[in-house]
Chain A
Amino acid sequence: MGGKRLKGVTSVLHAASPQYTEILPETVSPLFEKVLEGSTFTHVASATSSAGKSLLPRVSARLDVPTISDITSLEHDAASNSTTFTRPIYAGNAIATVKAPSNIAIKFFTVRGTAFAPATSQDGAEASDQAVDAVEVSNPTTEHIKTTIAKSDRPDLGVASRIVSGGRALKNAETFEKTLYPLADALGAAVGASRAAVDAGYADNSLQVGQTGKVVAPELYMALGISGAIQHLAGMKDSKMIVAVNKVCLVPSFFTVSGF
């Protein structure tokens, strides 16, 4: 009696169907509704990913409850059955504290990955699993045609501990490649880019760091030729050490820089 702590993952529900090969919100949301219907679930969470951002609001809207997106912290008060979240707003310039009261039966939220350490697996640990029947959607309104993923031998931007980023000051795609890639390879770093560099075609879309790109928080972030517009800072200001290489002084990123 007592003493035994609750464990994180207590059960794993799973649904398999050829229709779920690619996660489309239109085909997957009926499954979520079925799983949640009459269940004891009080919260539904996902990463702030493309799939999560399109799926959770869809399901929560069907249940007439809100989704709180991109949260950076949470606290649940069991006594009042309310959960208080914080989430960045205005490109990270302000933090909103949002309370989901008890009259929201199921609280939906998406989680900012850089704000929580990833869970670690343990050998010998076993949660129970339970199969859930797939809900076939006979006439899906959307269809997955293809996925194009830029292949790279470098670490993934989202999980890299070091990132070397380039901006518009690198002039063109060739200079971008010649300047950044050898440095990134020497450091074992991922390559990032500012929106200006991506728009100008120096780098692939998937490398964009910032408000409209990826949000990263590596140990080391090197910004080469990036002025540090607020939209870029929103995607990297949680980095441990920021190094900026730039001709222009007093650019915004220098206010957050730890060494240059």
Chain B
Amino acid sequence: MLRTGSVLCRRAPLLRSYATASSPHALVFLEHRQGVIEPGSLSALTAAEKLGGQVSALVIGSPEHVPNVVAQAKKYVLHFGLPHTLF
């Protein structure tokens, strides 16, 4: 009895911190010029990441460029929580 009680006590705060109902989810329009990602869009990714939630990128383009841009975009996995210095 006692043991179950203590486990419940420990779980309650954990559950609360994992409630993600209001967690932001940003969609970033990732621009590219002839298959090369625009630097301005990479800054937009950094800004979106600062919201503190998930970030999805949206790549739009011709069939010949999109696969290449998607392959590049998938590598832009940012470290959440690391302080970003400006510039």
Closest residue of B by beta carbon distance from A132: B58
Complex contact A49–B40 (CB within 8 A): yes
Given A46-B41, A115-B43, A117-B46, decide whether A2 and B55 contact each other with a Cβ distance below 8 A: no
Min CB distance, A100 to chain B, in Å?
11
Closest residue of A by beta carbon distance from B44: A111
Min CB distance, B68 to chain A, in Å?
11
Other-chain contact of B39, A79, A121, A158 (Cβ < 8 Å): A158
Q: List chain B residues, Cβ under 8 A from A47.
A: 29, 31, 38, 40-41, 43-44
Q: List chain A residues, Cβ under 8 A from B38.
A: 47, 49
Min CB distance, A102 to chain B, in Å?
9
Complex contact B26–A44 (CB within 8 A): yes
Complex contact B60–A15 (CB within 8 A): yes
Q: Chain A: how many interface residues by the 8 Å CB criterion?
A: 72
Which of B22, B39, B60, B87 lies at the interface centre, i.e. has the most chain A CB atoms within 10 A of its CB? B60
Other-chain contact of A126, B45, B74, B80 (Cβ < 8 Å): B74
Complex contact A129–B70 (CB within 8 A): yes
B86 within 8 A of A: yes
A139 within 8 A of B: no
Q: List chain A residues, Cβ under 8 A from B72.
A: 121
Given A8-B77, A42-B24, decide whether A116 and B60 contact each other with a Cβ distance below 8 A: no
Complex contact B39–A113 (CB within 8 A): yes
Q: List chain A residues, Cβ under 8 A from B41.
A: 46-47, 49
Min CB distance, B6 to chain A, in Å?
17
Min CB distance, B33 to chain A, in Å?
9
A36 to B47, CA, bound (A): 20
Complex contact B51–A125 (CB within 8 A): no
Given A7-B79, A83-B51, decide whether A117 and B63 contact each other with a Cβ distance below 8 A: no
B16 within 8 A of A: no
Min CB distance, B80 to chain A, in Å?
4
Question: Taking beta carbons and an 8 Å cutoff, which residues of A are in contact with B?
Answer: 1-2, 5-18, 20-21, 23, 28, 31-32, 35-36, 39-49, 51-52, 55-56, 71, 74-76, 78-79, 81, 83, 109-123, 125-129, 132, 158-159, 217, 240
A20-B62, A116-B84 given. 19 additional CB < 8 A pairs? Answer: A6-B80, A8-B45, A8-B76, A9-B57, A14-B59, A17-B62, A21-B62, A23-B60, A31-B60, A35-B58, A45-B28, A45-B48, A46-B44, A49-B38, A111-B40, A116-B46, A123-B75, A126-B74, A127-B74
19 contacts between A and B (CB under 8 A): A1-B14, A5-B80, A9-B77, A16-B67, A32-B29, A43-B48, A43-B51, A45-B47, A45-B48, A46-B31, A46-B41, A74-B47, A76-B50, A78-B53, A113-B39, A116-B43, A121-B72, A125-B75, A129-B70
